[in-house]
A and B are shown apart, each in its own frame.
Chain A
Amino acid sequence: MAVSEVRGAEAVVGLLSDRVIKTRVPKSYRVRELDERLRMERTRAEAKIISEARRLGIPTPIVYDIHEFSLEMERIWGEPIKHVISLGLSRSAGVLVGRLHRGGLIHGDLTTSNMIVKDDRIYLIDFGLSYWDMTLESRGVDVHVYYQTLISSHENHKELMAAFADGYRSSFPGAEEVLRRVKEIEYRGRYKVETL
């Protein structure tokens, strides 16, 4: 059983052949009570959001088990869409994000590394920064983050963005307003999540 580890700002993800184990690590700067409360709440919230996203028709890893500070999830063996991006895949990503937003969820880290293609389906992964929110700003920033990753890594980002917007419109009635907000966010030059 090959195990490797990925370390993020908040959690350590152990990669096993059939599953991943995501553990939220303690932070030495927080008082213990608060630290444990946050890690526990967030672990549960993430599991809940993953199943809510599935209910909204978005392929996600299956959650196998919830522990105090960790989640055991299905390992999706596929390619991050950043390696295999096409107009069709970008459009499909738009459809999924539209469903997510329509259901009142924000992913919080919509990079092309957090979208995995397996058997022609896109799986959304890493809901660690996700939350419930229906505001234009949150939705706009969600889309903006995706656009930023396209701009930074793909020559034909304009077409890829248009394809995404097309899919997003098809699954989310409020899309037009959000896409207008995305333009404003770009204009402000403000980005909350930096992606490489």
Chain B
Amino acid sequence: MQSTRVLGIEGTAWSLSAAIVDRDKVYAEASHPYVPETGGIHPMAAAQHHANHVARIIRQTLDSGHSFDGVAFSQGPGLGPCLRTVATAARALSLAYDVPLIGVNHCVAHIEVGRWQTGCHDPVVLYVSGANSQVLAFRRGRYRIFGETLDIGIGNALDKFGRHLGLQHPGGPKIEALAKEGTSYIDLPYVVKGMDLSFSGMMSAAKEAAAKHSKEDVCFSLQENAFAMLVEVTERALAHTGKGEVLIGGGVGANMRLQAMLEAMCTDRGARFYAPPRRYFGDNGAMIAYTGLLQLEHDMTLDVSDSAVNPTFRPDEVDIPWL
């Protein structure tokens, strides 16, 4: 008998991606990311992009010839217009093929794809992307948020600073390259309140510093500062929970300096550090499909009439019966 397979569609922001997976592997994946012509992500333009291309990327995954037993979609959090576009496609597919519809929390999907790909079991998770910066850990049936940003996500902060330097979106990878050439650390605001973080003051200060110092040094200082904040909160969560594993996920997680800092912290504490393969950091259809599969196995499916998107969907609203 063929293993259970799920087709998943991701489309919370810039990424539009569909994939078919089972417990063991990705059978088909097709993506068509939205790239803004100027500036950052325009929600309506991104949604229009998704509407133009979603049928084609689904067609590409179907053309692989692999069947599926459920359709999963990114239900939130994300940009409303993008979420609605992708949800509409998922509902149509579910009805047309008469298979269950599964609403997946995008943050939970980042965690699950990381656990799937790295083999870690019960980690403290640092989830860092454009819109999100959270430290999570499993406790009493759900992924609880131990700390998070109080204003903007770290990716967003880096992108904004990148635009200030005249770098093209997304700024993160270009800042990482410039930071490698930086040598001297410039003082920037370091804001950790309890377990929470704030990046906006640091961004304003970095913009001011860019007028006086080389961009290499400012990028270096920005990364050192922001990442130290993230690692510190991760370390506290590790100490509080007594867990022995740390997993990184989300687009900013691909940054090698951030990974090196987390790894150093883990080594000092005797914990193990896990990073998934590079392609699973950015938003991808496989993570939605795989999490959808876990949900399908636990009957966590939706009626079409009850499948509204949720732009502020928090990971701690989702029961995690499989861990």
Residues of A whose CB lies within 8 Å of any CB of B are: 8-10, 27-31, 33-34, 37-38, 106, 108, 129, 131, 133, 138, 141, 188-195
| Contact yes or no, A191 B144, CB < 8 A | yes
CB distance from B65 to the nearest CB of A (A): 43
| Contact yes or no, A31 B239, CB < 8 A | no
Report Cα–Cα, A129/B264, bound state, in Å.
Answer: 23
| Contact yes or no, A29 B265, CB < 8 A | yes
| B191 (CB) vs chain A CBs: closest residue | A131
Report Cα–Cα, A38/B146, bound state, in Å.
Answer: 22
Given contacts A9-B235, A9-B236, A192-B146, 13 further A-B contacts (CB under 8 A): A27-B228, A27-B265, A27-B268, A30-B224, A31-B228, A38-B190, A106-B194, A108-B194, A133-B193, A189-B316, A193-B146, A193-B240, A194-B241
Chain A residues lying within 8 Å of B316, measured Cβ to Cβ, are 188-190
Report Cα–Cα, A15/B237, bound state, in Å.
Answer: 25
Interface of A, helix, strand, loop or mixed by DSSP: loop
CB distance from B186 to the nearest CB of A (A): 9
| Contact yes or no, B195 A193, CB < 8 A | yes
Chain A residues lying within 8 Å of B225, measured Cβ to Cβ, are 34
Residues of B whose CB lies within 8 Å of any CB of A are: 139, 142, 144-147, 185, 187, 190, 193-196, 224-225, 228, 231-232, 235-241, 260-262, 264-265, 267-268, 314, 316
Chain A residues lying within 8 Å of B139, measured Cβ to Cβ, are 194
| Contact yes or no, B185 A33, CB < 8 A | yes
Chain B residues lying within 8 Å of A10, measured Cβ to Cβ, are 236
Report Cα–Cα, A34/B225, bound state, in Å.
Answer: 8
| Contact yes or no, B265 A129, CB < 8 A | no
| B232 (CB) vs chain A CBs: closest residue | A27
| Contact yes or no, A192 B231, CB < 8 A | no
| Contact yes or no, B185 A34, CB < 8 A | yes
| Contact yes or no, B228 A30, CB < 8 A | yes
- Given known A8-B239, A29-B262, A29-B265, contact A192–B195 (CB-CB < 8 A): yes
- Out of A28, A29, A37, A193, which one reaches B194, CB within 8 Å? A193
Chain A residues lying within 8 Å of B145, measured Cβ to Cβ, are 190, 192
| Contact yes or no, B147 A29, CB < 8 A | no
| A30 (CB) vs chain B CBs: closest residue | B228
| Contact yes or no, B146 A194, CB < 8 A | yes
CB distance from A24 to the nearest CB of B (A): 12
| Contact yes or no, B231 A29, CB < 8 A | yes
Report Cα–Cα, A190/B231, bound state, in Å.
Answer: 20
Pull 17 A–B residue pairs with CB atoms less than 8 Å apart, ordered by A. Answer: A8-B239, A9-B239, A9-B240, A27-B268, A28-B268, A30-B261, A31-B228, A33-B187, A38-B228, A129-B194, A133-B193, A141-B194, A190-B145, A190-B316, A192-B147, A193-B240, A194-B240
| Contact yes or no, A189 B144, CB < 8 A | yes
CB distance from A179 to the nearest CB of B (A): 19
Chain A residues lying within 8 Å of B267, measured Cβ to Cβ, are 28
Chain A residues lying within 8 Å of B144, measured Cβ to Cβ, are 189-191
- Out of B142, B193, B240, B264, which one reaches A29, CB within 8 Å? B264
Report Cα–Cα, A9/B235, bound state, in Å.
Answer: 7
Report Cα–Cα, A195/B241, bound state, in Å.
Answer: 8
| Contact yes or no, A192 B194, CB < 8 A | yes
| Contact yes or no, A31 B224, CB < 8 A | yes
| Contact yes or no, B241 A34, CB < 8 A | no
| B239 (CB) vs chain A CBs: closest residue | A9
Chain A residues lying within 8 Å of B146, measured Cβ to Cβ, are 191-194
Chain B residues lying within 8 Å of A194, measured Cβ to Cβ, are 139, 146, 237, 240-241
| A35 (CB) vs chain B CBs: closest residue | B228
CB distance from B21 to the nearest CB of A (A): 29
Chain B residues lying within 8 Å of A31, measured Cβ to Cβ, are 185, 224, 228
Chain A residues lying within 8 Å of B142, measured Cβ to Cβ, are 189
